[in-house]
Structure 1
Amino acid sequence: MRVLVVDDEPFMGYLMGILLLPLGHQVDAVFSGEEALECLEREVYDLVFCDLVMPGIGGLETIRRIRLRGGPPVIALSATVSPDWQQEALRAGAAAFLGKPFTRGDLLKIVAQIGEGGDARNSGSG
């Protein structure tokens, strides 16, 4: 599976790579919503992980734009794990919400469910 990680913290892309590369997934990282939208115009991805709080185009708007374009499933990432924030991400078009910090098991469960075409909305931390 080809995965795009969108997070203004470079460590998140690095972490996703450490966790997903050994399982055969390709992981690319960008640091803003703008970069993500540009990247998705050039490349094809199976899954996007998108931080919700970023400068410029925020995560919610990035998710909306990806979904309006018919892009891949998006997993929202945030350290803010309130039910309202999670629901807002799902309303924006996220397939699921993964709270930071998350466990390796939470991440792998979501990736497996998306890879199988399943609904991962109730997976993950928070």
Structure 2
Amino acid sequence: MEQQQSYPQAGARVLVVDDDPTVAEVVSGYLDRAGYVVDRAGDGPEALARAAAHRPDLVVLDLMLPGMDGLEVCRRIRGDAPVPVIMLTARGDEDDRILGLEVGADDYVTKPFSPRELVLRVQSVLRRSRPGQPSGALRAAGLSVDPAARRALKGDTELALTIREFDLLTFLLRHPGRVFSREDLMREVWGWDFGDLSTVTVHVRRLRGKVEDDPARPRLIQTVWGVGYRFDAAGAATAEV
């Protein structure tokens, strides 16, 4: 009972998609014991069907699936609804991990992995995907963020952000002018003191693609070479001069 109480999202529905029945069974067992409602699928079409029948709160998705790979499954699931996705990959190639993040995965775990660590990742992503406590809207440089409603606008246009992109934008808006290293952002936005820092790099690039007028020449989310990133609220005004 104590273990289940430590997970604030107990009862959330998690869809586990993996063609290896042993991996799927172990992952499902740990998630079930943590208090989650678990669905399982062994391939892409089954995953899409189960997601359509019962919308999951989060998907644990293997990259290497027969037929339709995990990248395509992720694209299709996220095309229907902003469902958080944690990608599983047996590959050590950084390009594969980055591809998963580029199509909208919120996190990834490389096989072989600790099931307990995966449960903690699920907990972290779900916690950050839920509306937070009421707080004032943040506005700067034509952007506005409502943390409680988890909505972000550029002008009058709502931005389609993943969970991590939203958290990253919110954090930067709360600390304009300050420089944060990738390690800082990994700790403050992802909630981890360790991890692949390319995750931060990819999310900064994706966020720039959505908030910058010219992502190739970013004025809002600036790179401070050798240090990290800074949100420059005056960037938009400079661009208009």
Question: 1:32 is matched with which residue?
Answer: 43
- C-alpha separation between the residues in 1 aligned to 2:88 and 2:125? 15
What CA distance in whole angstroms lies between the structure 2 residues aligned with 1:123 and 1:6? Answer: 27
Distance 2:64 2:89 in 1: 7
Give 1:25 shift. Answer: 0.7
What aligned pairs does 1:34-53 form with structure 2 within 5 A after superposition? Answer: 34-53=45-64
Aligned AA (1:75) = I
Which residue pairs with 2:15 in the alignment? Answer: 4
Q: Structure 1: where are the runs of 5+ without partners? A: none
Unaligned runs of 5+ in 2: 1-11, 130-163, 165-189, 197-241
The DSSP-based 3-state class of the residue aligned with 1:117 is helix
8 Å contact from structure 1 (residues 3, 45) kept in 2:
yes
2: CA distance, partners of 1:65 / 1:45: 14
Deviations 1:16-58 (A, max 9, x none): 1221111111111110011111111111211101111111111
Larger radius of gyration: 2
The aligned residue for residue 81 of structure 2 is 70
- Runs of 4+ residues over 2 Å off in structure 1: 118-126
Q: TM-score, normalised by structure 1?
A: 0.89
Q: Is the 8 Å Cα contact of residues 67 and 93 (structure 1) preserved in structure 2? A: yes
- Which residue does 2:27 correspond to in 1? 16
Higher relative contact order (CA 8 A, sep 6+): 1
TM-score normalised according to structure 2 size? 0.48
SS in 2 for 1:97: strand
Q: Who is 1:61 aligned against?
A: 72
Q: Using the TM superposition, give the Cα deviation of residue 72 of structure 1 relative to its aligned residue in structure 2, in angstroms.
A: 1.4
TM-superposed CA distance for 1:124, in Å, is 8.6
Aligned to 2:111: 100
Which amino acid is the alignment partner of residue 43 of structure 2?
Answer: S
Aligned in 2, Cα 1:124/1:101: closer, same or farther, shift over 3 Å? farther
| CA distance 1:33–1:94, change in 2 (3 Å) | same
Q: CA deviation at 1:105?
A: 3.6
Q: Deviations over 1:100-126 (max 9, x none)?
A: 111134212211111211645979977
- With over 3 angstroms needed to count, the CA separation of the structure-2 counterparts of 1:64 and 1:123, relative to structure 1, is farther
Once the 2 structures are TM-superposed, how far is the Cα of residue 9 of structure 1 from its aligned partner?
0.9
* C-alpha RMSD of matched pairs (Å): 2.2
